[in-house]
Amino acid sequence: VIDAQGWIDVTVPIRAGMVSYPRNPPIEVSQVESLARGGHATVSKISLGVHTGTHVDAPAHFIPGGSGVDRIPLDALMGRARVLGVPDVRRIDAAVLRTLEISSGDRILLKTLNSPRAWDSPGFFEGYAHVTPEGAQYLADRRIRTFGIDYLSVGVTGENSDTHRALLAANICVLEGLNLTPVVPGEYELLALPLLLAGADGAPTRVLLRPITRG
């Protein structure tokens, strides 16, 4: 996962049958033509929801009339980011977040118990760490730029829309489905490139981190 320039790939590979959030479409990959079957070329077809694996949420996901992924400013997706470790907390509320010294303009990625526990689970991992609506409102009040978490939703069933709405209404770019297993908390350069799906409420995203070494 670490290449020669020090980039760490925190993207979850998209493959047929991979885990998805409840009530999201299954991920299917098939070959409509293949060299092995005597075709001219190998051509695959994919079927998936836009909230598959590592992805970004756009305001349109929970805000009526909200903008799509193609309108997310690039500066929310690239630049200095802080990976903060909260390994022992399942419900991340304002009290937990207050201990992390989060400031205006920050790009914050939370490494929780989900990395690697949730990703190692064969099915959907119900006990995933998530942010409460009150915690999300705290982040909105801090005016952070970007918020990322290491499983398929930032919120939990029953309060999922409140958590999302607090972040998205504050124009915080939400990254979900990061696999932060290989990443130690610290300062990183973030590169997150969502597929440019016109007007969509989310998009699968390649996310890379590179440690910033102070010298």
**Active-site positions?**
61
Q: Is 150 among the residues that bind Zn ion (CB under 5 A)?
A: no
Q: Is 51 among the residues that bind Zn ion (CB under 5 A)?
A: yes
Residues 164-183 that bind Zn ion (CB under 5 A): 176
Nearer to Zn ion, 51 or 165 (CB): 51
Nearest distance, CB of residue 42 and Zn ion, angstroms:
30
105 Rama sector, left if φ>0, alpha if ψ -120 to 50, beta otherwise: left
Stretch in the footprint of Zn ion (CB under 5 A) among 6-14, 45-53, 87-95, 120-128: 45-53
Tokens for 128, please give them: 């995933």
Q: Which of 57, 113, 155, 205 binds Zn ion (CB under 5 A)?
A: 57
Tokens for 5, please give them: 């320039």
Nearest distance, CB of residue 62 and Zn ion, angstroms:
9
Residues lying near Zn ion in the complex (CB under 5 A) are found at 51, 57, 176, 202
